[in-house]
């Protein structure tokens, strides 16, 4: 259910989005009379800030920093097509780490936007992908994660909000890997991963302060957990759009990128000059990393075009 402005078009028909592809249905046909007012519960169910927008808890920091680093390299080197000098064997090991890691959790995937990154890898453009099978491996890994995620729909809100360990996609290693193989990022990239984690925590700590003192992230709409949800919430509560108390609808948040934008340019009145200088340094480092990623993508786009590949990517 998308949020509506009660003053916009209030004399015209109301609609709700009734499918993942944006289909709509008449509001009255879907909602009906709703539940009686006295059946409504006002005990808060959903948080004001989703867990994936907050700094990572200590127990997932190691996994998160390695996964964040791995995904960054996979995106920068493999999409849309690698250069002749790129180390594809190393990138294959990076992907193998994602396939076999036993420290992944639902929150690690959300915090690192892992599904989006691996989806990019699944669209790799290669004349011959038979040696490393990047495309088919990325597609299979995504399918595994989607299957695990779909089971969450059957959980209660408490279970949906709790972090969960995720079974590795593969437990068997290739014949050329020792039985206890784990990816070693090496000294330089381990230090890089640690710095990226520090920057992420600084950014999210600032965002959380902004969201809790100025303006929380926006809920773009509410998704019913099943077809009976409309009958379990009063029509008044449905129409005012505040369903944080309802276990029958789950929030659809604005993206983290949008939610954190205002916070990054916000002037924190409690910040010391030293903290403000550190924040400015954070923004410079983030900008430099973004420019590096753009430059790497640009040359690989040009290489893809030189090979005759066409498309938007």
pLDDT digits (tens, 9 = 90+) for 146-187: 999 887 666 778 888 899 999 999 999 999 999 999 999 999
Confidence grade of residue 225 (pLDDT, cut at 50, 70, 90): confident
pLDDT top residue among 35 and 45: 45
State residue 5's pLDDT score. 45
pTM of the model: 0.86
pLDDT digits (tens, 9 = 90+) for 69-118: 999 999 999 999 999 999 999 999 999 999 999 999 999 999 999 999 99
For all residues of the chain together, what is the average pLDDT?
Answer: 88
Confidence grade of residue 7 (pLDDT, cut at 50, 70, 90): very low
Please compute the mean of the pLDDT values over residues 272-282 and round it to a whole number.
92
Confidence grade of residue 8 (pLDDT, cut at 50, 70, 90): very low
Hey, what are 260's tokens? Answer: 């954190």
Interatomic CA distance for residues 101 and 167, integer angstroms? 8
Please compute the mean of the pLDDT values over residues 281-295 and round it to a whole number.
93
State residue 17's pLDDT score. 57
* Neighbour count for residue 72 (Cβ, 10 Å): 20
State residue 182's pLDDT score. 96
Please compute the mean of the pLDDT values over residues 199-227 and round it to a whole number.
93
Confidence grade of residue 310 (pLDDT, cut at 50, 70, 90): confident
């Amino acid at each position: 259910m998308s949020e509506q402005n009660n003053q916009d078009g209030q004399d015209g028909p109301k609609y709700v989005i009734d499918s993942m592809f944006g289909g709509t249905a008449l509001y009255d046909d879907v909602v009906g009379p709703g539940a009686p007012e006295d059946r409504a519960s006002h005990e808060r169910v959903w948080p004001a800030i989703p867990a994936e927008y907050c700094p990572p808890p200590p127990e997932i920091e190691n996994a998160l920093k390695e996964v964040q680093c791995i995904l960054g390299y996979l995106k920068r080197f493999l999409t849309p097509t690698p250069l002749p000098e790129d180390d594809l064997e190393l990138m294959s090991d990076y992907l193998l780490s994602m396939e076999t890691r036993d420290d992944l959790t639902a929150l690690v995937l959300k915090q690192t936007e892992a599904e989006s990154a691996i989806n990019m890898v699944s669209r790799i453009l290669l004349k011959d992908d038979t040696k490393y099978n990047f495309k088919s491996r990325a597609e299979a890994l995504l399918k595994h994660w989607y299957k695990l995620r779909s089971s969450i729909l059957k959980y209660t809100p408490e279970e949906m909000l709790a972090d969960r360990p995720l079974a590795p996609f593969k437990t068997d290693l290739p014949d050329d890997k020792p039985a206890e193989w784990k990816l070693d990022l090496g000294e330089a990239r381990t230090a890089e991963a640690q710095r990226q984690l520090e920057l992420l925590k600084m950014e999210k700590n600032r965002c959380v302060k902004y969201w809790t003192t100025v303006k929380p992230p926006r809920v773009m709409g509410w998704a019913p957990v099943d077809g009976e949800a409309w009958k379990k919430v009063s029509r008044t509560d449905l129409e005012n759009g505040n369903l944080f108390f309802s276990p029958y609808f789950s929030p659809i948040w604005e993206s983290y990128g949008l939610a954190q934008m205002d916070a990054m340019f916000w002037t924190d009145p409690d910040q010391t000059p030293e903290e403000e200088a550190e924040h400015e340094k954070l923004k410079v480092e983030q900008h430099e990393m973004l420019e590096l990623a753009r430059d790497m993508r640009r040359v690989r786009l040009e290489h893809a075009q030189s090979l005759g590949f066409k498309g938007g990517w």
